Structure 1
Amino acid sequence: MSKENYTITADVTLMNKDLVVIITGGDVPHLGGIVSYDHKSRMSEKIYFDSHDGRKHKDIFLAERFAERIQDRLPGNLCVTAGVHIDGITQAQIEASFPMTVELAQQVLDWTLEFENEFDEPQYPTHLKNFKFK
């Protein structure tokens, strides 16, 4: 997805019902923040990584926006990382990042839902309740 002279991409891995998304772009892709969503508990957690001068990376806002857009419609858990850095970023480039992220989220959701009839349900043995690991 490209606007305002830069590109944001989403690399996506679907692991049965669970989804891992890596959002990167700009001049220096990196790991700025992580948002995870537990489908069963409906709880989200965030990890903010330190940036320069003791500040936190602002990329977490992209990961949050992406996750919030799709998490309730996914069949499983979600982990979104984001790291987009543009040297000398402008206000217009910052503002463009949000609709780009929303559009990427919709594309990923649409793609994920194409597989909804192919998910496997794990089978758990009931006879291992007192199993001891050695």
Structure 2
Amino acid sequence: MQDNDNTFETSITREGYTMKAILERQSLDVLIQVIGGDVPHYGVVMTVDNTGQTEVIAMPSRPGHVHQEKVLINPVIKAIKPALQNNAIIVSGMHVNDITPAQMRAAVPMAKVLGERLADWLMAHPGHRTEVTFAQ
């Protein structure tokens, strides 16, 4: 695990592959990447606004299919929502070549662990509200 006041990185390895979470904070907002496997990429984006509302965009993965990483983002969001101070953007993409059933079963529990670690870090390292002014 690696962290400072505005960034945090953690990973978990099970069933022969690694999933990683990278968090970066700007003011009270956070950007989180959940990536890993043999081909890390960006396939699904989820936003969570400061009211807790979510939106998801799943990018095309191959003809007739979209990326399915929402199943990895959901346990992360569930874990971090109580710790969020404002908006969050989560980007995820993970591909394990020739994935086995055991590797598939491990993915959601791995994401849950990463979400819990992110939530713990957010609670231990709250952001600080910066005064914002607007032109008149």
- Please, what TM-score do these two structures have when normalized by structure 2? 0.84
SS of the residue corresponding to residue 122 of structure 1 reads: coil
Q: Pairwise mapping of residues 99-118 of structure 1 onto structure 2 (< 5 A)?
A: 99-116=109-126, 118=127
Counterpart pick for 1:8 among 13, 19, 25:
19
Q: Using the alignment, how far apart are the partners of 1:34 and 1:66 within structure 2? A: 13
Is the CA contact 1:71–1:78 (under 8 Å) kept in the aligned structure 2? no
Residue 61 of structure 1 aligns to which amino acid in structure 2? V
CA displacement at 1:53 relative to structure 2: 2.8
Q: Using the alignment, how far apart are the partners of 1:8 and 1:76 within structure 2? A: 25
Q: Using the alignment, how far apart are the partners of 1:99 and 1:24 within structure 2? A: 14
Gap regions ≥5 residues in structure 1: 129-134
SS of the residue corresponding to residue 63 of structure 2 reads: helix
Q: Residue 124 of structure 1 aligns with which residue? A: 133
Deviations 1:81-128 (A, max 9, x none): 110000111111111011111111111111112222x51242335x71
- Please, what TM-score do these two structures have when normalized by structure 1? 0.85
Counterpart pick for 2:69 among 59, 70, 93:
59
**Structure whose alpha-carbon radius of gyration is higher:** 1
Query: Are residue 88 (structure 1) and residue 62 (structure 2) matched?
Result: no
Gap regions ≥5 residues in structure 2: 1-11
* Identical residues among aligned pairs (%): 27
Q: Residue 87 of structure 2 aligns with which residue? A: 77
Deviations 1:68-89 (A, max 9, x none): 2212331111111110000111
Select the structure that is richer in strand: 2
| Number of equivalences | 125
